[in-house]
Every structure is written in structure tokens, then in C-alpha cells.
């Protein structure tokens, strides 16, 4: 998008302060217009216009820029290029293709960074409309097999409506080849290619917003079972440094059941991002066996890249997400970390000498965070299909203090809250999601799916488990005072059950070959195993059986390992084990007492 249009001189630089510059205006220019700054033609965007002065944020290093150099407008807002070839790519915040290198810095702008965002290869286009058809924004002109996982639907652009007067035959075409012509009601002709452009700060329109209804399955038990996310929903993932935000985000990128994934590495370390991308190049999709890259797009603005481009990266990524949504796909956008994005806002605002509010953030911080998450949703697209954008943003509060503004506002504008916890991470309980402070407002939304697809009593199972965990945390405080031996056996059994849930269910190893991804059916089978063993144990204790006898039958250390020994496709083993163990526990009660 750095090369969008011929540009002409519209001003002269007079002031330079890091990523912010000011210019005296001599020609037409508007707010949010994309500009070229200086002799070097650095990419920038007008963020203010006042009394003949333009304020510009610059997306590249401004070292060496001098007053007197030219400012050139492009006549267009900051936008991204949309079309086949986005998938499997790695972009910076301005949609310039990046090269990933395994070393200290990790990620570089590819040589010839003026290169187009979309590859110049030819795509096999199959028309889906015919000459004479009336076409509307969002209707499908034709399809292209973008990757083996994703069919790219070439849509009629938002501004075009009328009669299709010609359309290309099936064949191989480059993205800029004209494939069709539409004549509108006024008789004007619009040549169409595979490429659309869209201004990143403007939401792409939809026919209708719908309530989320289906879960986004992540394969992470603590999320799917206890704090579920819905397709089209929003989740905040706050946690102190080192609590496992990046690891969990990456697990979601790998395993979640969205069709298309956009991962935004925002302000984090370049080598960390390079590791992810390198790892991705080896990973395959468990359901299709195809490389996961085929459904994934990376947007990287690592800590070594200019701060303003970090601000833009969120919008570029969101626009790309909406573009695949409009093709009828379930898209998931993961942003790591939105705090670095907020810090970019703060830095730019500081350069502008705006009045700071809490912790130096600008007063518009909450509205920016809200506007970002509002672009998530399940929708009826203009073309009449259903699509969704799900958003998960990690938040890195300084010192792990959740009362700071970015965490607070993010919590306000999202509906699932996954709080990562220092104490759990220190205890190597991963994912370090605190099950007491985390919550999801999507439980009732997704319950119907779980009840239908897995078990009618899903809600009851998860609330029994939650109650046990809740009771155990109260008992834990007592144990610290008096010791576990002082508790009645009924309560000690609650502590045992809580251990089953914590170690056997909530804890999950992201790198374990069997445990990394836990399918819904296995999640329910494990949950039922522990819930029903807890209940049967409770009954036999009530009837006077000593806890020690139960321990002879139920080896807790072995039970918590089942998650790692039973693969997703052999869930029957868990069901069978449950009936065997239940029978053995019941047999502890002498026959005369049962009567």
C-alpha cells in the first residue's frame, strides 16, 4: 500500500519528532490521507490538519529527515490490498511482505520493500456469475483455489452494482488482469480484477449482525469447557510477563477451528515472532494434513520496528480478517500484545503534546479499544453468507497489575476474560489461567452446541467441577491453618477431586504430542470421568467407607495422566475405565449397607 498512487508535492516539512512530523501545506490534502514523507518517500498518514499545518505519523524510521523536505499526498486513505495470495504471507503493519530469518532480529523487510503485497503468480479463476447477471456488492464473481485449505471467493467490490456485461472464462490470470466489466445504472463501466482495496480504519459493511451461536473450539480444556469463546466473540487475555500469553495465543493459532487465522505480533520480540513463523512452516492441520500456513496470515510489528506502524498493524489485520469473513469464512484474529499497541498510541499522543489521562494514555484510549473489538462479530455478509471474526487480544499489564487502564478497558469491551496468573505459572500450572478470576459470557451461547454434539448434561458436568474447585479453594485456606489430616474425610475427598480437575483436566501441556490438542469429545469424557468418580466416592464415604479404601481403588496419580495417554480418537477407553472404576468403588460398600 506504499505505492498506491502517483503523488504530488502538497507541503514542506517544518518539524520532526520521532514518528511524528509537521508540514506546511501548499496543496489539497485531507485527514487520514496516506502520504509520502521527505525525499526518501517514507510512508505516513495525516492525523491532524490545522491552520495550514498537517500533522503526520510516519511508519518508518525518520532519522535523517530534515525540515524543507517535501510532503506528497496520495489522495487516498491508508488501505490494504485484498485478493488471493494473502494466505501464508508475513506482512508488516503496512502490508509489506517480510522475510523471516532465524537469528537475533528475526524478521526483516524483504528486499525491494516497495514490492506488491500480493504475489504476481497466476491463479486459476472459475467464474460463478454470467454475463447479463445483476451483481451487487459482496456477490461472488468467481473462485480461486488460493490454497488447498481455502477457496478464495472473488467478490464484487462494495461500491459496484449493476449488470455484468462480460466475464472471463475459466483460466489462469494474474491479480491485476481484468476479469469482468459491470455497467451501473448510470451507464458507467467498472472493470473488475481479483484485487480490492480497503481503507484500514473503516469497517467493511455487512448486511446484518448476528449473535454468536457456535463455540470456537481451541482444544484447550480450560478454555473450551470452562471459559468458552464463541465464533464472532471477543476475549481478553491479560497476564504478567512470562505467564504464558504468547504460548497460549500460539496454541490457539495452531488448533482453533476457525477457517482462517490472522496472527498479529505487535511490539513483541522479533526472534520470538520468527520462531513462531518457522515453527508454523513445519506444522500441519490435524484435520486435513495440509500445512497450517495455508490458512494463516502473519502481521508482524516487532519491538525493533517503528512504533507508528504498530498502531496501523491492528487495523490492517482487522481489515484482512473482515475480507475473509465477507467470503463466508470463520476468521480468528489473535493480537499479541494489545498493550504494545496502546503504548504506540501513547507515544504518538505524547509527541503531539496531547493532554494525557491515566498513566499517560490519551483520552481516546477507551474508544480506540472499543472500536477494535467492535469489528469482531458473527454477520450475514453483503453476499448473504454467514461469516465471523473472532478476536483474542493479549494484554501485558506492567507488573501484572490488572487495574491499569489497558486491562480495564479491554475487560470492559470483551466478553471472555482469561486471566493468566503469576502464581499458577510459578507452580508450572499451564495454561496459567486463573479459574476463579476468569469468566466467559458465552457459556449459555455455546451450551446448546455442547449438549447436542457431546453430552446433554454438559452444563451440569462443568458446574459440578466448578463447585468442587470453589469448595476446595476455601478448604485450602483451612488446610494451611490446621493441616489436611484435621479435615473430615468428606472434605479431604473434595481436595482429592479438585486435584483431579486441576492436574488431570485444567493443566495441559502445549508441546505434548497427545495432550496439546484435546478434542471436545475427549474433554467431556475426562470431565465426566472425574465428576462421576467424585460423586461415587462421595456416596461411599457417606455410607461409612474410609477414604483410604477409595485410594486403594483410585490411583489419583495415574488418573491425572489419562489426558496424556488416551488419544483423541480412543475416547471409549475413558468411558470404559469410568465404568470399571465406578464398579470397584461401589464394591467397597458391603452389600448389607447398600440395602
Ligand X SMILES: Nc1ncnc2c1ncn2[C@@H]1O[C@H](COP(=O)(O)OP(=O)(O)O)[C@@H](O)[C@H]1O
**Smallest distance from the beta carbon of 509 to ligand X, in angstroms?**
6
Nearer to ligand X, 177 or 564 (CB): 564
* 451 in contact with ligand X (CB under 6 A): no
Q: Which is nearer to ligand X, 244 or 383 (CB)?
A: 244
Window 404 to 433, contacts with ligand X (CB under 6 A):
430-431
If one asks whether residue 246 binds ligand X (CB under 6 A), the answer comes out as yes
Q: How crowded is the C-beta side of 422, counted as CA atoms within 13 Å?
A: 9
The DSSP bridge partners found for residue 334 are 263, 392
Q: How many residues bind ligand X (CB under 6 A)?
A: 12
What's the start-to-end Cα distance of the chain, in Å?
79
- Options 218, 220, 246, 313; binder of Mg ion; rule CB under 5 A: 246
Q: Which stretch, 129-137, 196-204, 243-251, 345-353, contacts ligand X (CB under 6 A)? A: 243-251
What CA–CA distance (Å, rounded) separates 132 from 145?
A: 25
- Positive or negative CA dihedral for 117, 391, 393, 526? negative
Q: Does residue 247 touch ligand X according to CB under 6 A?
A: yes
Cis peptide leading into residue 431 (ω within 30°):
yes
CB neighbours of residue 444 within 10 Å: 10
Answer for the pair 292, 283: CB distance below 8 angstroms, yes or no: yes
Q: Does 15 bind ligand X (CB under 6 A)?
A: no
CA distances from 161 to 182, 208, 381, 486 (A): 7, 19, 16, 77
DSSP annotation of 566 reads S
Task: Give the residue with the Cβ less far from ligand X, 32 or 514.
Answer: 514
Cell of 165: 456485461
For residue 258 the three cell numbers come to 476457525
Span of 157-165, 241-249, 250-258, 400-408 interacting with Mg ion by CB under 5 A: 241-249
> Which of 69, 343 has the CB closer to ligand X?
343
User: Using CB under 5 A, which of the segments 46-54, 125-133, 243-251, 418-426 binds Mg ion?
Assistant: 243-251
Residue 435 near ligand X by CB under 6 A: no
Q: Which residue is nearest to ligand X (CB)?
A: 244
Nearer to ligand X, 157 or 270 (CB): 270
Residue 32 or 510: the one with the smaller Cβ distance to ligand X is: 510
Distance CA 473, CA 424 (A): 14
Q: Is 398 in the site for ligand X (CB under 6 A)?
A: no
Interaction pattern, residues 545-584, with ligand X; x per rule: CB under 6 A = ----------------------------------------
Is residue 241 part of the contact set for ligand X (CB under 6 A)? yes
Residue with cell 491515566: 358
Among 53, 510, 547, 577, binds ligand X (CB under 6 A): 510
Residue 79's DSSP bridge partners are 199
Strands 180-183 and 189-192 come out as: antiparallel
Q: Which is nearer to ligand X, 95 or 250 (CB)?
A: 250
Question: Is the Cβ of residue 96 or residue 245 nearer to Mg ion in the bound state?
Answer: 245
- 385: Cβ–Cβ under 8 A, 6 or more apart, which residues? 327, 328
Q: Is residue 245 close enough to count as binding ligand X by CB under 6 A?
A: yes
Q: Could you give the CA distance from residue 421 to residue 524 in angstroms, rounded to a whole number?
A: 25
Minimal distance, residue 470 CB to ligand X, in Å: 24
Q: Please report where in the chains the cell 486403594 appears, as a residue.
A: 552
Tell me which residues touch Mg ion (CB under 5 A). Answer: 245-246
Tell me which residues touch ligand X (CB under 6 A). Answer: 239, 241-247, 430-431, 509-510
Amino acid at each position: 500500500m506504499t505505492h498506491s498512487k502517483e503523488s504530488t508535492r502538497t507541503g514542506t516539512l517544518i518539524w520532526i519528532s520521532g514518528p511524528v512530523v509537521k508540514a506546511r501545506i501548499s496543496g489539497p490534502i485531507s485527514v487520514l490521507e496516506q502520504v509520502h514523507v521527505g525525499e526518501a518517500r517514507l510512508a505516513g498518514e495525516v492525523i491532524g490538519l490545522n491552520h495550514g499545518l498537517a500533522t503526520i505519523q510516519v511508519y518508518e524510521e525518520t532519522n535523517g529527515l530534515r525540515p524543507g523536505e517535501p510532503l506528497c499526498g496520495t489522495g487516498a486513505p491508508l488501505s490494504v490490498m485484498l485478493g488471493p495470495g494473502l494466505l501464508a504471507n508475513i506482512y508488516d503493519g503496512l502490508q509489506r511482505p517480510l522475510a523471516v530469518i532465524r537469528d537475533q532480529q528475526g524478521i526483516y523487510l524483504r528486499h525491494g520493500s516497495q514490492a506488491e503485497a500480493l504475489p504476481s503468480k497466476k491463479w486459476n479463476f472459475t467464474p460463478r456469475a454470467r454475463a447479463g447477471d445483476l451483481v451487487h456488492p459482496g456477490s461472488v464473481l468467481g473462485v480461486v483455489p488460493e490454497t488447498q485449505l481455502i477457496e478464495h471467493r472473488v467478490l464484487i467490490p462494495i461500491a459496484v452494482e449493476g449488470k455484468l456485461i462480460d466475464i472471463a472464462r475459466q483460466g489462469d490470470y494474474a491479480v491485476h488482469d481484468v476479469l469482468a466489466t459491470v455497467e451501473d445504472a448510470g451507464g458507467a463501466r467498472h472493470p473488475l480484477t481479483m484485487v480490492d482495496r480497503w481503507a484500514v480504519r473503516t469497517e467493511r459493511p455487512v448486511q446484518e449482525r448476528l449473535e454468536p451461536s457456535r463455540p470456537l473450539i481451541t482444544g484447550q480444556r480450560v478454555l473450551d469447557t470452562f471459559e468458552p469463546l464463541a465464533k464472532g466473540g471477543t476475549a481478553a487475555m491479560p497476564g504478567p510477563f512470562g505467564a504464558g500469553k504468547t504460548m497460549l495465543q500460539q496454541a490457539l493459532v495452531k488448533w482453533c477451528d476457525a477457517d482462517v487465522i490472522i496472527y498479529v505480533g505487535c511490539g513483541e520480540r522479533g526472534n520470538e515472532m520468527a520462531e513462531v513463523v518457522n515453527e508454523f512452516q513445519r506444522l500441519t492441520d490435524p484435520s486435513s494434513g495440509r500445512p497450517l500456513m495455508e490458512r494463516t496470515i502473519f502481521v508482524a510489528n516487532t519491538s525493533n520496528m517503528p512504533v507508528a506502524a504498530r498502531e496501523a498493524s491492528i487495523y490492517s489485520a482487522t481489515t484482512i480478517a473482515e475480507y475473509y469473513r465477507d467470503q463466508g469464512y470463520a476468521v480468528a484474529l489473535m493480537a499479541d500484545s494489545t498493550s504494545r499497541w496502546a503504548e504506540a498510541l501513547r507515544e504518538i499522543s505524547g509527541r503531539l503534546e496531547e493532554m494525557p489521562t491515566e498513566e499517560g494514555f490519551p483520552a481516546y484510549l477507551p474508544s480506540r479499544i472499543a472500536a477494535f473489538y467492535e469489528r469482531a462479530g458473527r454477520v450475514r455478509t453483503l453476499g448473504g453468507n454467514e461469516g465471523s471474526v473472532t478476536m483474542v487480544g493479549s494484554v501485558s499489564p506492567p507488573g501484572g497489575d490488572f487495574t491499569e487502564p489497558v486491562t480495564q478497558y479491554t475487560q470492559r469491551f470483551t466478553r471472555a476474560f482469561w486471566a493468566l496468573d503469576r502464581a499458577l505459572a510459578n507452580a508450572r500450572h499451564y495454561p496459567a489461567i486463573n479459574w476463579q478470576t476468569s469468566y466467559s459470557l458465552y457459556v449459555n451461547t455455546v451450551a446448546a452446541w455442547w449438549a447436542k454434539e457431546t453430552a446433554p448434561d454438559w452444563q451440569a458436568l462443568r458446574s459440578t467441577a466448578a463447585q468442587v474447585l470453589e469448595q476446595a479453594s476455601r478448604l485450602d485456606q483451612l488446610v494451611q491453618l490446621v493441616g489436611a489430616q484435621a479435615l473430615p474425610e468428606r472434605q479431604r475427598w473434595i481436595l482429592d477431586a479438585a486435584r483431579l480437575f486441576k492436574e488431570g483436566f485444567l493443566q495441559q501441556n502445549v508441546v505434548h504430542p497427545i495432550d496439546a490438542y484435546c478434542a471436545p469429545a475427549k474433554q467431556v469424557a475426562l470431565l465426566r470421568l472425574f465428576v462421576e468418580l467424585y460423586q461415587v466416592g462421595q456416596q461411599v464415604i457417606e455410607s461409612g467407607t474410609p477414604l483410604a479404601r477409595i485410594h486403594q481403588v483410585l490411583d489419583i496419580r495415574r488418573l491425572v495422566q489419562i489426558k496424556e495417554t488416551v488419544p483423541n480418537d480412543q475416547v471409549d477407553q475413558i468411558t470404559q475405565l469410568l465404568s470399571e472404576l465406578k464398579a470397584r468403588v461401589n464394591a467397597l460398600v458391603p452389600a448389607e449397607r447398600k440395602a
